Structure 1
Amino acid sequence: MSVAAEDPLGAADTFVLVRETIRALSADRGLRASFSPKVVADGVGNGGHVHLSIWRGGVNLHDGGDGPCGMTDAAESFAAGILHRLPALLAVGAPSVASYLRLVPGHWAAPFQACGHENRETALRLITGSRGEEGRAANLEVKVLDQSANPYLCLAALIFAGLAGLARPSRLPALVDVDPAWLSEDERARRGIPELPGTLAEATDAFEADAVLGAAFGPELAATVIDLRRAEVARFADSSPQEIVAALRWVF
């Protein structure tokens, strides 16, 4: 389900409103809605994709430039900042042990640190929109996040990462036009397509090592994020996927 674009705070508020509306309507009909990353251990699960774009003076910077998919230098640097920090961002945007039962090949979760034009199997999808609508519709889609995340912290982390990219202008790697899971490990290495963290512990380590995100969040909040993630890792250290799913199915 997609909702209209808003400013970051408005988008987070709408996310909460939509989810609670779905819960209420489901309950009214004798049903129960779950937004857990994994509802059934061998099922596909629930994502929480984030679309975002940066504008200046009412102009969408993801169109009209010379960069990939018509991006301006600023939009490309913003996108590169997010792509570069995806391993650390997962600790905020995919913060449950259940998240990593979903972030596997073949589950529409794009668990590789790659970007592509309209490629739904890359972690960062570059969207140009329909012909004639590029100036309005061009945006980024971050596909590896899910609804166990706090939407306010998640959007803040994405903005921090994008601003870090803007502060040190950089370029995106070569765009990927296939599902990275179809490539051999050697081919992925040759093309510079690493796997994203496969566990919450790995994502938490990446977040702790990222000085930029740590400084942006502030030492107290960053330490709280790390402590909470490690507590969840410890809680489920000896649990099977089925036990994790059962324990978290109705938490989110």
Structure 2
Amino acid sequence: MTTGTAAVDPTAPGPAEPPVTAERLAAAAVAAVALPPREERAARAAQAVDRLRTEAVEAVAVTWVDNAGITRVKAVPLGGLLHAAQWGVGTAPCFDVFLADDAITTSPIIGGPTGDLRLYPDLDRIVPLAAQPGWAWAPGDRYTQSGAPHPGCQRLFARRARAVAAARGLSLKAGIEVEWTVALAGAPGEEPQYPTHGPAYGMHRVTDLSDYLRDVLRALGRQGLSVLQIHPEYSPGQFEVSVAPEDPVAAADTSVLVRHTVRAVSARHGLRVSFAPVVEAGGVGNGGHLHVSLWRDGRNLGHGGPGPHGLTAEAEGFLAGVLDALPELLVLGCSSPAGYLRLVPSHWAGAYQCWGLENREAALRLVTGSTGERSAAANAEVKCFDASANPYLAVGGAIAAGLAGLEQRRALPPEFTGDPAAAEPGTVPRLPASPAEAIAAYERSAVLREALGEPLYQAVLAVRRAEREQYAAVPPEELVAATRWRY
């Protein structure tokens, strides 16, 4: 018998990765949303309070986004953050069936006045708000009073989707473009009056609102966000800001923070903003385009492969899954009935279910980036999503659809170049042109139903049906007026 330490062969393969099984994926999803021990939350909250106190923070706004795409909030004084981190803040489950106008519907599982949840701030994401002195912000996750994950929590859904991808050895980077329309402050029902009338994409607008745009950039930078660009958009008073890609749940958080920051800066300048899909009937509306790239072991799978424009087989399968599911994904990414007034052909809204390299009329635009940066920059843009979407539902749904396509080893259909509206009728499928069509596709989707889970799936469906009925007979002008200042 010999003793001592055996020599290690550095060229020998490491332990085999456990197989990707349904049980392993389910376990990863459960672990991703488990509430950390109370003692750990308390210690981290105490550190956060000390840090925020040095920055003169007096209150923390903890937000979640409902199924109508409206950001809701519970705020606590800084001294109450420790208790909120340990025990949560009370919130009613009926918020999951609120409509955009604050009417309340119900679903077979969630609804009614009974019950309570606990909203826990994400202590890793707390940030002082540069445009609201004395305030900080944190996204929240919702749990039951016993500490179990609330099955209707949209942010937990996105966290589960991310965990399922990670259990397959995959990571994602994402970013959500934020477009908004700025107007002079006025009465709630008043038509927008614009502070600038410069041409689309024109320097006139930057000149007219240079102090305002500078303050937007300054506030975003002070909050730790890396801005890639800011520029005027097509419609009157419309602008867009893009930030650096990040983890998909963080990207959804950031989209909430960016919109909140833009609104706060606007208020300080005597302006108001709309992120609604359409601000004027017949005009080009505000998108909420989702950019996503798939990675494995630090490698961008959208580059260097044998597929179309360098896609690897995994990236192609993922994107094929997203493309195939776009009709039902509109229920998550184009939540307001007003969104279908934006989703029209020849408006760069992505109204057709096709894909193409740098094709801004395709619902799925492939972006390779410039020669020399493609290994880092290659991504795909989902153009049919708008700013009425709950961003956690949008990213989680896209991940679920993409993973289904990857598992089924789907291939992309032939690429389309040019404007699909000019193609032979019937050549390119049109995405749903109404909430009713999108809801019908959603009801047929086994992938989304399984990924969301029955409580969240049914709550989303109830809200979409209620808003469809609410605005079914309303002319476009009235629909736009009713939703213009809700987002």
Query: TM-score normalised to the size of structure 2?
Result: 0.50
Q: Does 1:29 align with 2:269?
A: yes
Q: 2:399 aligns with which of 159, 184, 201?
A: 159
Q: Does 1:139 align with 2:379?
A: yes
Cross-structure match for 1:235: 470
1:109 Cα deviation after fit: 0.5
Alignment-mate amino acid for residue 167 of structure 1: E
C-alpha distance in structure 2 between counterparts of 1:71 and 1:38, whole Å: 34
Q: Which has the higher strand share?
A: 2
Alignment-mate amino acid for residue 242 of structure 1: E
Q: Does 1:217 align with 2:457?
A: no
C-alpha distance in structure 2 between counterparts of 1:74 and 1:225, whole Å: 30
C-alpha distance in structure 1 between counterparts of 2:259 and 2:334, whole Å: 17
Gapped regions of structure 2 (runs ≥ 5): 1-240
Contact 2:358–2:367 under 8 Å retained in 1? yes
C-alpha distance in structure 2 between counterparts of 1:239 and 1:106, whole Å: 24
Cross-structure match for 2:430: 195
Contact 2:349–2:363 under 8 Å retained in 1? yes
Alignment-mate amino acid for residue 241 of structure 1: P
Q: Which moved more, 1:39-48 or 1:102-111?
A: 102-111
Q: Secondary structure at the match of 2:352?
A: coil
Q: 1:73 aligns with which of 310, 313, 322?
A: 313
Q: 1:85 aligns with which of 325, 342, 349?
A: 325
Alignment-mate amino acid for residue 135 of structure 1: S
C-alpha distance in structure 2 between counterparts of 1:239 and 1:63, whole Å: 46
Q: 2:338 aligns with which of 64, 84, 98?
A: 98
C-alpha distance in structure 2 between counterparts of 1:69 and 1:44, whole Å: 30
Q: Does 1:56 align with 2:296?
A: yes
Cross-structure match for 1:130: 370
C-alpha distance in structure 2 between counterparts of 1:182 and 1:47, whole Å: 23
Cross-structure match for 2:481: 246
Gapped regions of structure 1 (runs ≥ 5): none
Q: Per-residue displacement from partner, 1:19-41 (whole Å, max 9, x unpaired)?
A: 01100111111111100000000
1:105 Cα deviation after fit: 1.1
Cross-structure match for 2:250: 10
Cross-structure match for 1:120: 360
Q: Secondary structure at the match of 1:152?
A: helix
Q: Secondary structure at the match of 1:113?
A: strand
Q: 1:40 aligns with which of 280, 291, 295?
A: 280
C-alpha distance in structure 2 between counterparts of 1:216 and 1:42, whole Å: 35
Q: Secondary structure at the match of 1:178?
A: coil
Q: Secondary structure at the match of 2:278?
A: coil
Which gives a bigger RCO, structure 1 or 2 (Cα 8 Å, sep 6+)?
A: 1
Q: Secondary structure at the match of 2:351?
A: coil
Q: Secondary structure at the match of 1:96?
A: coil
Alignment-mate amino acid for residue 28 of structure 1: R
Alignment-mate amino acid for residue 31 of structure 1: L
1:42 Cα deviation after fit: 1.5
Q: Secondary structure at the match of 1:224?
A: helix
C-alpha distance in structure 2 between counterparts of 1:229 and 1:55, whole Å: 33
Contact 2:278–2:484 under 8 Å retained in 1? yes
Alignment-mate amino acid for residue 453 of structure 2: G
Q: Per-residue displacement from partner, 1:88-138 (whole Å, max 9, x unpaired)?
A: 000000011000000011222020000001111100011110001110000
Alignment-mate amino acid for residue 227 of structure 1: A
Alignment-mate amino acid for residue 485 of structure 2: W
C-alpha distance in structure 1 between counterparts of 2:479 and 2:430, whole Å: 23
Q: Secondary structure at the match of 1:107?
A: coil
Would you identify which runs of 4 or more consecutive aligned residues in structure 1 move more than 2 Å? Answer: none
Q: Per-residue displacement from partner, 1:179-219 (whole Å, max 9, x unpaired)?
A: 10121315x2xxxx200000011101101110111111011
Question: Identity percentage over the alignment?
Answer: 55
Contact 2:307–2:316 under 8 Å retained in 1? yes
C-alpha distance in structure 2 between counterparts of 1:43 and 1:27, whole Å: 24
Contact 2:289–2:386 under 8 Å retained in 1? yes
1:222 Cα deviation after fit: 0.5
Contact 2:281–2:480 under 8 Å retained in 1? yes
Query: TM-score normalised to the size of structure 1?
Result: 0.97
Cross-structure match for 1:179: 419
